[in-house]
A and B are shown apart, each in its own frame.
Chain A
Amino acid sequence: MKKPYDSDDEAIRCAQQTWQKECLEPELSVTGEWTNRFETYSGIPVQRVYTPSDTDNMHYTRDLGFPGQFPFARGDSATMYRGAPPRIYAYSGCPTAEQTNARYKHLLAQGAKELIIAPDLPTQIGYDSDHPMAKGEVSKIGCPINSLADVEVIFEGIPLDKVFVGAQANANSVVMLAMIIAAGEKQGVSLEQMKVLVQNDVLKEYFARGTQIFPPKAGLKLSVDCMEFAAKRHLKFIVPILYCGYHIREAGGSAVHEIAFTLSNAAAYVQEFVNRGLSVDELPLPRSLFVAGLDLFEEVAKHRAFRRMWARMLKERFGAINPRVLAMTLTCGSQASLFTAQQPRNNLVRGTIQALVQVLSGAKATYIATMDEALSIPTEESATLALRTMQIVHNECGLLGTADPLGGSYYLESLTSELEQRAMKLFDEIEAMGGAVAAIEQGYQIGQIAKEAYRQSALVGSGDRTVVGVNKFQMNETIPIEITRVDRKEEARQVEKVRCLRAKRNCAAVEKGLEQVRLAARMGTNVMEPVLQAVGAYATMGEVCDALREVYGEYR
C-alpha cells in the first residue's frame, strides 16, 4: 500500500526472512501446527501473517479512497454511521394478513425501521391460494397475498410515506410493486412520497432460489420494467431492484460466487436499462443484499470488494458519472444456513457475530436470522431477540464513530483484492459465454454452486470444518425450544377468502385490466401501468401472472 507505513519493502522482506529463520522455524519444529488447512470459508489460503508487502499493488487513492468517494471501498457515503445508524429491517410474514400486520406493529414498536413482506410460496410463484399447485403450501413460509385487499390489511395503520416497506418478490415483482403502490394510494399517499422496495432480482432465482415463473429473457424484461417505471417517474424513494448475492451464497456458493454472479446479473439489468434509451446516470439508486457469514474478515472484505467492483463496472463499462449511481448501498442479511437445528440457542451467538460483520462492512440496512431458523418460522420471542441482538451491536459497541474501521489491515486489504480478482475472473467467464442470461440457459451458475455446496458439505462431513453441536461438542437433546406451527385449516380459509373476493369485485374492470396486461406483454412495452390498473380493480396475483404466462410461457 503506498504508503501509510514508513518501512520500505526491502527492509520488510529482510526482516521477514530473519523472522522465519530465527523465530518461526524453531517454534514449528517444537510445537508444529494443529492443521495444515488454514483457509477462508471460501477456500482462499490464509498466510501466517500479512505485512505491507502483501498490499504492494494497492494504491490508496485509486483502490480505497474516502467513504462516499470512488471507488467506494470504504463506504457509500461520507458520514457513514455518523449520519444515521444502520437501519434494522424485519423480513417477516405470518399465515394471515391480519397476523402479519400485528407482527409488523410489534416490530415497529420494538425499533425495526423497514418491513419486508415474506409471502408464502404460491404467492411468490404467482399462484392464488386455490390453485392446484398451491395445495399444502398456503401460509406455510409466509403470508398469502392474493390481491390488493391482502396488502391493504398488511399495512393497515402503517403509513407508507413514513415507514419503508417492501416485499420478497421476484418473478412477480411487477404485480407486487403495483399492489403495494395501490395500497399506498388508498392510504392517500402520493407515489412520489412512497417508500417501497421490491427485491426484483429475478435472474438469481433461476440458479439460486427457484421461484422463477417465466423464461429468463422475459424475467429480465419484467425486472427492468420496474426499474424503468421508477426512473421515468423520478420516484426517488422507491427501490425497484435489490441486487442479490444472498441467495447465491445460501444455495451453496462461495463468497466469490456471491459477488461475481451478483455483478454479472447486475450487468444484465443495467444493460437492458440503457438499451431502453435511458441514461445510466438515471439508474435508480443501487442497493444490494449479501449475507453476513461467520468468517469475519472474508465477509467484510467481500462487501468492500463488491462496492468497488460495482463502481468500477458502472464507470468503466457503462460510463456512469453520477456519484449516486456509482455508490452501492449495502443491505446485509444473515447466513442463516449456518444456524443449526442442534442446540438452537447457540444461534444467538452466531447472530451476534453476523451483526458485527454487518456493521464492520458498512451495511446500511441489516437483518439477522432468528435462533429457530433451522426449525420453523420465527416465534415473536425469537424475532424480538434477533432485533435486540442488532440493537446491542449497533448501540453498545462503539462501532458507529468511524467509517470502515478495519480498513488498512494488511490481511483485510489483501483479502479484499484477492476476492475482487477471483470474482472478476468468474465474471469475465460469464461475459465470454454471452452474459448472465446465456450462462443461466447453459446451466453454468447452478453447476458451479452445486460443486461448491458439495465441497462445503464434505468439509463438515469429514470434520475438517467444525460446526459446534453438529459434528463436535454434541449433546443429547429433547425438543429444546418452542416452534411455530401453521394451522392446517388456514389453507381452507384462504381459499374461501380469494373465492369471495372474486365473487364481489367488478369483473368487467378486472377483465379489461388483464387484457391490457396481455396487450402490453405482447407489444413488448412496459407492463407496469396496465398491471397497476388490473390490481387496482382487485385482479389477483394468480390472474395477472396467468395473463403474463399466456404471452411468455412458463419455466421451471
Chain B
Amino acid sequence: MTRQRPIKAVLAKPGLDGHDRGAHVLTLGLRDAGMEVIYLGIRTTAELIVQAAIEEDADVVALSCLSGAHEYHFPRVAELLKEAGMADVLLIGGGVIPAEDVPLLQAAGFKAIFGPGTTIQEIAAFIYEHVRE
C-alpha cells in the first residue's frame, strides 16, 4: 500500500532545555527527506505535545532533551499519548541520554533513542521503516 500523504512528524522539546540546534537540523532534514514536520519549539509541556499530535494526526512524535530531564518528560509524553489512544504513533527521542536509560524509555513506549553523532539519514531511514501504514 502506498501512503496517501507524506509522513507527518511533530517535533518538540519538552521541559526547559533551550538547546534546539538538533531540533532545527532535524526539522530541515526530515523535510528534505519528504516528510511534513511541525516543530513546536522550546519549553513545551507534555500536554501541549500530545494535543498537537492529535490535532495534526501525527505519524511520528520526536522529542529532544539535552538537560537530563528526559527521565521525567519522555515517559510522561508516552503515557499521555496512550491515554489519548495514540499508542500507535511512532515515538522517538534524542539528546544527551545515558545508555542505561534507554531500556527504561523503550519500555515506556519509545521505539528508538538517538544519541549525539546520529545522522539525519539514520533517523529518516528509521522512521520510514517503522512508521504505521
Chain A interface residues (CB < 8 Å from chain B): 121-122, 124-125, 127, 133-137, 140-141, 205, 209-211, 250-252, 337, 340-342, 374-377, 446, 449-451, 453-454, 457-458, 460-461, 467, 470-471, 479, 483, 485-486, 488, 556
Contacts and interface: CB of A to CB of B under 8 A. Distances in A.
Contacts of B20: 210, 251
Contacts of A374: 96, 116
Contacts, number: 102
Interface in B3-22: 15-21
Contact of A341 (B15, B41, B116): B116
Contacts of A127: 16
Q: Is the interface of B mostly helix, strand, loop or mixed?
A: loop
B8 to A, nearest CB: 20
B28 A450 contact: yes
B18 A211 contact: yes
Nearest to A451: B28
A476 to B, nearest CB: 13
Interface string B5-49: 000000000011111110011011100000000000111000000
Contacts of A467: 117
Interface in B58-116: 67-69, 71-73, 96, 98-100, 115-116
A453 B120 CA distance: 12
A210 B98 contact: no
B29 A137 contact: no
Contacts of A483: 98
Contact of B43 (A209, A251, A376, A556): A556
Contact of A460 (B41, B72, B73, B119): B119
A317 B22 CA distance: 37
Given A252-B25, A340-B117, A451-B28, 4 more contacts: A121-B15, A205-B18, A376-B96, A486-B68
Contact of B41 (A136, A342, A556): A556
Nearest to A251: B21
B25 A450 contact: yes
A137 B69 contact: yes
Contact of A375 (B27, B67, B71, B96): B96
A140 B119 contact: no
Contacts of A342: 117
A447 B18 CA distance: 16
B51 interface: no
Q: 3 closest A-B pairs (Cβ-Cβ)?
A: A210-B18, A136-B72, A450-B24
Nearest to B39: A450
Q: Is the interface of A mostly helix, strand, loop or mixed?
A: loop
Contact of B115 (A136, A251, A341, A449): A341
Contacts of A124: 16
A135 B25 CA distance: 27
Contacts of B17: 121, 137, 210
Contacts of A121: 15-17, 67, 69
Contacts of B42: 210, 556
Interface centre among A140, A205, A252, by most chain B C-beta atoms within 10 angstroms, is A140
Nearest to B23: A450
Given A210-B17, A341-B117, A457 B98 contact: no
Interface centre among B28, B29, B115, by most chain A C-beta atoms within 10 angstroms, is B28
B28 to A, nearest CB: 4
A210 B120 contact: no
A346 B83 CA distance: 44
A341 B118 CA distance: 10
Contacts of B117: 340-342, 467, 470
Interface centre among B69, B73, B100, B121, by most chain A C-beta atoms within 10 angstroms, is B69
Contact of B69 (A125, A140, A205): A140
